[in-house]
Amino acid sequence: MPNSTNHKDLQQVAVAPTIDELPNGLRVVVTSIPHSQAAVLAAYVGVGSRDEARDTLGLSHYLEHMLFKGTEARPEPTAISAAIEGAGGSLNAFTSRELTCYWNRVPFDRLSLAMDVLADSVRHSLLAESEIERERTVICSEIRRAHDQPGQRVGQLLTQAAYGEQPLGWEIAGDLESVGSVTREHLADHIATWYRPSNIVLSVAGNIEREQVLEFAARHWGEGWPEGASAAAPGRSPAEAGMSDDLAQTEVRNLEQCNLALALRSIHRLDPDRYAMTLLNEVLGGGMSSRLFTEIREKRGLAYSVGSHPTAFDDAGHLAIMAGVTDEHVLETVDVVLDELGKLVAEPVADEELERVREHAIGSFRLGLDAAASWCHRAGGMLLSNGFIEPVEETIAGYESVTTADVRRVAQRVMREGNLAAAVVGPFEQADELREQVDCFSPS
């Protein structure tokens, strides 16, 4: 007999994260997925590059590297990775403008080991001077590599153009000068200032049980914090509304093609229009059926790859548009993009188009939660950044509530005169013409 379980039955066993708080204020979110073979753990810390001083920019990222370089219990620099990889697992970390995350993934029966290693690396780093100097060379190489890669470099220039001289416009990894000025004292002060229980979320997902996770969390994260760790972390300076003085930044390089990027400042992470913003992006450049892909690649053959994506922060955000084109097609491609932006402001999206992108957004969102790691990072990142975890069905309901009028309203909020920045890296020498296009942007 076929299995008669239907969609409604499956909803009754939907994955649902639980949130607990240790006495010291550290929050623990557990997402039990009984059919998974993995346990994924992540420690989210509420500090990123926008919380740093300009002269030591890259400090959060530098520390992210250092917390893998030996602890009191595992003094050898490779001991932390060897412990996890020896169990068949993997580990890594990342730094963004607003948070730092350390994670590992192991078979579910090695949860105890994973919790021990994660807590040990985050809480008990030796910060050995020799390792700090060795890693400085590694980080400087990483910075040089990003500069040498045109796709990454154009993103750097675009961020500078869109945000100007403020922390959101600076590079996450810093630059060679700021990284060169970082000392052990800077790293230790950074830990003392930001790595406090109330500023950390521990997220665990997979074939695990809440009670067991809480027992391990209390053991490894509940005690032994230094004096003063119970105080709240510092507040964050608000983002500035203004953009750069140079809204069209170019870097001429001897390449086969140009990397073109455009950006419009948009909405913050919890703006009520965030669902409409997602669907607006789907219409504009969210896939191979999007308007930009159709107009720029399919109809005109100007680019192989073209698309858009929104980025949102606590109190700011931007919509970025990227394309790879030859130098003689840069200005034409910009004209096409600006024309499509103008259409979104002037004309409502057709009902059929909205329904198509709505289904794509909902389907992509569901498929993005297909693994324990996805649940771990969604829950941990949301709880740290927003203070709550939005239920899956609430997110989907948000998408389902968007109307064509909502999409047009958001387009009018974002696509406005004086709110466009551009960047090009490649053999492009018509910077003045590009600036004129940007300066003349007026879609209304």
User: 376-408: per-residue pLDDT in tens?
Assistant: 999 999 999 999 999 999 999 999 999 999 999
Checking if the pLDDT of 212 tops 70, the result is: yes
Classify residue 216: in a domain, yes or no.
yes
Checking if the pLDDT of 121 tops 90, the result is: yes
Contact between 420 and 264 under an 8 Å Cβ cutoff? The reply is: yes
Checking if the pLDDT of 10 tops 90, the result is: no
Classify residue 318: in a domain, yes or no.
yes
Classify residue 361: in a domain, yes or no.
yes
Domain match, 337 and 431 both: yes
Classify residue 237: in a domain, yes or no.
no
Instruction: Place 444 in a pLDDT band, splitting at 50, 70 and 90.
Output: confident
**Residue 15 has what pLDDT?**
87
Domain match, 292 and 407 both: yes
**Cα 335 to Cα 436: distance, rounded to the nearest angstrom:** 11
Domain match, 213 and 263 both: no
Domain match, 152 and 255 both: no
Domain match, 356 and 274 both: yes
**Residue 320 has what pLDDT?**
98
Classify residue 239: in a domain, yes or no.
no
Domain match, 198 and 283 both: no
The domain that contains 282 carries what CATH number? 3.30.830.10
Name the residue type at position 330. Answer: V
Instruction: Place 11 in a pLDDT band, splitting at 50, 70 and 90.
Output: very low
Of 221, 240, 272, the one marking the end of a domain is 221
Domain match, 209 and 348 both: no
Q: What's the average model confidence in pLDDT over 265-269?
A: 98
Domain match, 281 and 207 both: no
Average pLDDT in the chain: 96
Contact between 390 and 417 under an 8 Å Cβ cutoff? The reply is: no
Residue 258 DSSP class: E
What is the domain count for the chain? 2
Q: What is the reported pTM?
A: 0.95
Q: Kindly name the residue from 21, 52, 64, 133 that is annotated as catalytic.
A: 64
Residues in the chain: 444
Contact between 282 and 399 under an 8 Å Cβ cutoff? The reply is: no
What is the percent of the chain where pLDDT is above 90? Answer: 95
Classify residue 231: in a domain, yes or no.
no
Domain match, 278 and 179 both: no
Of 221, 256, 275, the one marking the end of a domain is 221
**Residue 14 has what pLDDT?**
73
Classify residue 187: in a domain, yes or no.
yes
Q: What's the average model confidence in pLDDT over 23-38?
A: 97
Domain match, 34 and 116 both: yes
**Residue 38 has what pLDDT?**
98
**Residue 287 has what pLDDT?**
92
Domain match, 92 and 206 both: yes
For β-strands 317-325 and 248-252, DSSP reports them as unpaired
**Residue 7 has what pLDDT?**
43
Q: What is the span of the domain harbouring residue 178?
A: 16-221
Checking if the pLDDT of 3 tops 70, the result is: no
Domain match, 38 and 173 both: yes
**Residue 34 has what pLDDT?**
96
Active site residue 64: yes
**Cα 410 to Cα 277: distance, rounded to the nearest angstrom:** 7
Checking if the pLDDT of 2 tops 70, the result is: no
Classify residue 5: in a domain, yes or no.
no
- Convert the pLDDT of each residue in 139-164 to its tens digit: 999 999 999 999 999 999 999 999 99
